[in-house]
Amino acid sequence: MVQPIDINKPVYSAVNISIRKPEVDTKNVTNPATVNNDNGIYNAVKIDIDNPRINSGETQKVYDYPEADGIVTYEMLNINPIALSSESEEVDAVPAGKAEKTEKGEIVEVPAPNYTTLEAEKADLAEKKTLDSVNAISFKAEANEVKRPEIIPSEDILPKVDISLVTENLSNTNKDIQAQQMEEIVRLALMEPDKAKDYLVSDVFSSLIKITEEDATQLPAPTKEQVQARQKLIANILAVEKDKNAVNNLPYPMTDEEVAFATNLSPMELTERNKEYALTALGALAELFIEDYQAKEGRVVPITDAPGVSAIVNALRRDPDSGVKLAAIDALRHINRPEYKEELSALFALAQKDPNPNVSKIADRAIAELN
């Protein structure tokens, strides 16, 4: 039979909590489902917070637990605790992210359950360690993927010209090797002066000056037969220059061996030829040195301080070979500047008095260029 509810008394659906004097009276509790007091109707237990007390003087047992002679285990009951735990979790667990509607029709997402059991704590700890390991591995992988700046070892800055090889060639006893190296110096100085600046070192100037100072007077001169063969060869060349049809009718027909014999230079001639080459190279390099010095210092270097000029002057004044004197005049013409007019005029005037007409003639031209 359903008892009528007094509307003047409060109805509680859970626990009645008395703040000032909490008390649970279990003396007259005969049915745990119903508790009568002056504050209302309860379907659970009345608890006073400030003074909680349970009067168990004459407490009547609500449940009777069976007593056993020993410890009862899961094995005796044929129960798998792991399966039971997982099944209970599946039943009791509230799926995370499930949306429910409220009375007002609003959709509220149910949060995931918060497990506080020992197994859950172990699982969280194991998951944390796994994440830490993954993060550590990821960090290492990212560190390895970072491209570090490539360090390129520095290389020695070497000149574009191998000076050691140049000086070796200039000191070679083979006059042809000397000549080829000096021809390369002159060509580079005239065609590519910026690259030729690598030759502006003391070793190169010293080697060239040494060549100009060689004494050729004691070396073997061309033989009488060579002189005669050269005279024939010169006559043939002049005839062809005058008439090209003279190739088939030369004044002095010569075999290839005779031409090679005529053109073969004697040791004295090789030395004199290389002296001419060395003077020309010194003049070209002296011009580069003077221009480079002016660009760096803002003034013109004195002619006496220009490297190689003294060797050129000595060759012009002292060498007996007319070809060497002509080469010296041409070398001085490379440094023809207004600042050097006085010194060059004196040198060319000296060359005008040379007994060789070719030397005096070239000296006249050089003086005209100065004026």
Which DSSP string do the residues of 13-67 spell out, in sequence order?
Answer: SS-EEESSS--EE-SS-S-TT-EE-SS-EESS-EEESSS--EE-TTPPPS--PPP
Give yes or no for a contact between 356 and 323, defined as CB atoms under 8 angstroms apart. no
What is the rounded CA–CA span in Å between residue 126 and residue 133? 11
Higher pLDDT, 301 or 244: 301
pLDDT at 110 (0 to 100): 57
Nearest to residue 169, comparing CAs of 178, 160, 161?
178
Least confident segment among 49-53, 104-108, 272-276: 49-53
pLDDT at 26 (0 to 100): 47
pLDDT at 370 (0 to 100): 87
pLDDT at 73 (0 to 100): 59
Distances 128 to 112, 116, 117, 136 between C-alpha atoms, Å: 18, 16, 17, 12
- 222-241, pLDDT tens digit by residue? 999 999 999 999 999 999 99
Going by their DSSP bridges, the two strands 35-36 and 41-42 should be labelled as antiparallel
Phi–psi pair at 215, nearest 5 degrees:
-95, 115
108-116: list long-range contacts, CB under 8 Å, 24+ apart.
Answer: none
pLDDT at 125 (0 to 100): 66
- 78-135, pLDDT tens digit by residue? 555 555 554 444 444 445 555 555 555 666 665 655 545 556 666 666 666 665 655 5
Angle at 365 between CA 360 and CA 368, to 5 degrees: 125
Residue ranges of domains in the chain: 1-76, 164-215+269-370, 223-264
- 63-74, pLDDT tens digit by residue? 455 555 555 555
Higher pLDDT, 85 or 276: 276
Q: Which two tokens stand for residue 325?
A: 């004197």
- What percent of the chain stands above pLDDT 90? 53
Average pLDDT, the chain: 77
What is the rounded CA–CA span in Å between residue 334 and residue 331? 5
Beta bridge partners of 48: 18
pLDDT at 4 (0 to 100): 54
Contacts for 33 with CB less than 8 Å, ≥ 6 apart: 43
For the chain, state the CA radius of gyration: 60
**CATH class given for the domain over 164-215+269-370:** mainly alpha
pLDDT at 225 (0 to 100): 95
pLDDT band at 37 (very low <50, low <70, confident <90, very high): very low
Full 3-state SS string of 87-109: HHHHHHCCCCCCEEECCCCCEEE
pLDDT at 137 (0 to 100): 47
pLDDT at 135 (0 to 100): 56
Higher pLDDT, 297 or 50: 297
What is the rounded CA–CA span in Å between residue 51 and residue 25? 13
pLDDT at 246 (0 to 100): 83
Q: Does residue 10 have a pLDDT over 60? A: no
Higher pLDDT, 160 or 273: 273
What is the rounded CA–CA span in Å between residue 343 and residue 134? 87
Dihedral angle computed from the Cα positions of residues 163, 164, 166 and 168, in that order, rounded to the nearest 10 degrees: 160
Distances 234 to 142, 259, 262, 289 between C-alpha atoms, Å: 84, 11, 10, 40
Phi–psi pair at 50, nearest 5 degrees:
-70, -35
**pTM value?**
0.56
Q: Where are the alpha helices (DSSP H) in 78-201?
A: 81-92, 118-145, 163-170, 175-191, 193-196
What is the rounded CA–CA span in Å between residue 51 and residue 21? 5
The one-letter amino acid at 246: A
